[in-house]
Structure 1
Amino acid sequence: MDIKKEVQQQFGKNAASYVSSPIHKDGKDLVKMVEMADLTGQEVMLDIATGGGHTANAFASLVKKVTAVDLTEKMLIAAENFIKGNGHQNVEFVQGDAEKLPFTDDAFDIVTCRLAPHHFPNVDLFIKEVHRVLKPKGQFLLDDNVVPEKQEFDQFYNSIEKMRDYSHYRAWKKSEWIQKLEDSGLDIYEWHRFEKTFLFDPWCSNMKLADPDKNQLTEYILNSSQEIKNKFRMVIENDKIISFVGEAIILKAIKR
């Protein structure tokens, strides 16, 4: 199946759980993201792959207008219900692909994308599109899970994410993001690394993972090396995985 169809299928059936998911809803990263933005209140903003609409919702009262775009129609409906339910009337909702945005060049003062690029099959096209739709000196705020620089840790994290969620494509390294953005004509102004504790059972149930798949994932993690268990600070009790720690970055880049 085409990865974009997989994304639509996966997010379509889990739309409501994304709106209420604590990692998406309550993340301190969202507060940091807003803090990092340089805002006057007159900005026209684009939120790419809006998902449950949390980023668009957080910025709506701080900017002039937000356009929230997502590949999945059901996610857009869930996001619209959530955002309008919070009283924001300056957000419009558009179905569209992050790698082929339905907007004109130099259309936005600020572009955001949170917890989504690890689903994009061609992240370079996405970055090219961000650069295209941003006005000169416009801000791009990226927030996504990343993998450690070491190959073995990279492979492990991407493997467990793919086993949990077939629409996962790749979490990138910090160094890869910096390289790709600078290559595209965006200058990195600020970035922060932060850690995330994933509680294993809710992490699996968020994707409605079937028991046989969850058992397979558990076995894969239990059989991983001690070095991997230490790196991801696995908490395991009686062969039951309680939690592990991943990492993410928030990054601000400016279009030259």
Structure 2
Amino acid sequence: MENKKEQSQTAFDRQASRYDTTCYSRHPRALYPRLLRQIEKLQPTDVLDLGCGTGALLAEIARLCPTARLSGLDLSAAMLAVAEKQLQDKAELIQGDSEALPYADCAFDLIVCCDSFHHYPNPEAAARQLHRCLKPGGRLLIGDTTMPPLLRQLMNFTFRFSSEGDVRLYSQKEMRALLSDYFQDVQWRRISPSSYILQGTVRK
């Protein structure tokens, strides 16, 4: 599975310079309005964008929550270079891995993950890290790709042979099972045939 991380890193390094202006960003950008509405309601003070890419979502969060401390983590150095130019000093950006987050325990009251979770080779390890880094009562907000059952199974099979770093698309049942030990009040809502929004409150 380390190969999947390398594939993701290589793919996003290659896409970084044109990511925001091409079809690569179409799906995550379609999720932004839904995510931002939830973030505006929460008005968090310490936010991590996990898989922050070019920083486009963080820039919108900075506009909605001007006093929040913002952090972004991504596997791709090239994506982070674009994010640094876009965000200037609005967020602390770190290159890192979802399975070993370089943050203290209880560092954030919100972690948002947009169109990134399906790239994680070890989602259980990522869930443990998300739990560790959230404050008591902290919130997890995920927007990601899914498909109807048969198509999802087909996509998951083809991912084995993909060089883009995609690992797995999840159903509502699978996401609830992954997160249930670490999060309560998990809400999963399909917002299109190919996408969903998930929210949960950390268990402490």
Tell me how far apart the structure 1 counterparts of residues 160 and 11 of structure 2 sit (CA, whole Å): 12
* Structure 1 moving runs of 4+ over 6 Å: none
1:177 aligned residue (156, 168, 175): 175
Which residue of structure 2 lines up, in the alignment, with residue 54 of structure 1? 56
Tell me how far apart the structure 2 counterparts of residues 179 and 189 of structure 1 sit (CA, whole Å): 10
Q: Deviations over 1:149-203 (max 9, x none)?
A: x3x43221224556665311111112101121112x20135332122xxxxxxxx
Whether 1:15 aligns to 2:16 is yes
Which residue of structure 1 lines up, in the alignment, with residue 146 of structure 2? 146
Tell me how far apart the structure 2 counterparts of residues 24 and 193 of structure 1 sit (CA, whole Å): 14
Q: What aligned pairs does 1:1-256 form with structure 2 within 5 A after superposition?
A: 2-21=3-22, 22-24=25-27, 26-27=29-30, 29-37=31-39, 38-40=41-43, 43-63=45-65, 64-84=68-88, 89-148=89-148, 150=149, 152-160=150-158, 165-183=163-181, 185-195=182-192, 246-256=193-203
- Structure 1 unmatched ranges of 5 or more: 196-245
Q: Let me know the Cα RMSD of the aligned residues.
A: 2.0
TM-score, length-normalised on structure 1?
Answer: 0.70
Specify the SS of the correspondent of 2:8.
helix
**Partner AA of 1:145 in structure 2:** T
TM-score, length-normalised on structure 2?
Answer: 0.87
Tell me how far apart the structure 1 counterparts of residues 124 and 195 of structure 2 sit (CA, whole Å): 19
- Structure 2 unmatched ranges of 5 or more: none
Aligned pairs, number: 197
Specify the SS of the correspondent of 1:128.
helix
Specify the SS of the correspondent of 1:99.
coil
Tell me how far apart the structure 1 counterparts of residues 158 and 121 of structure 2 sit (CA, whole Å): 17
| Bigger radius of gyration | 1
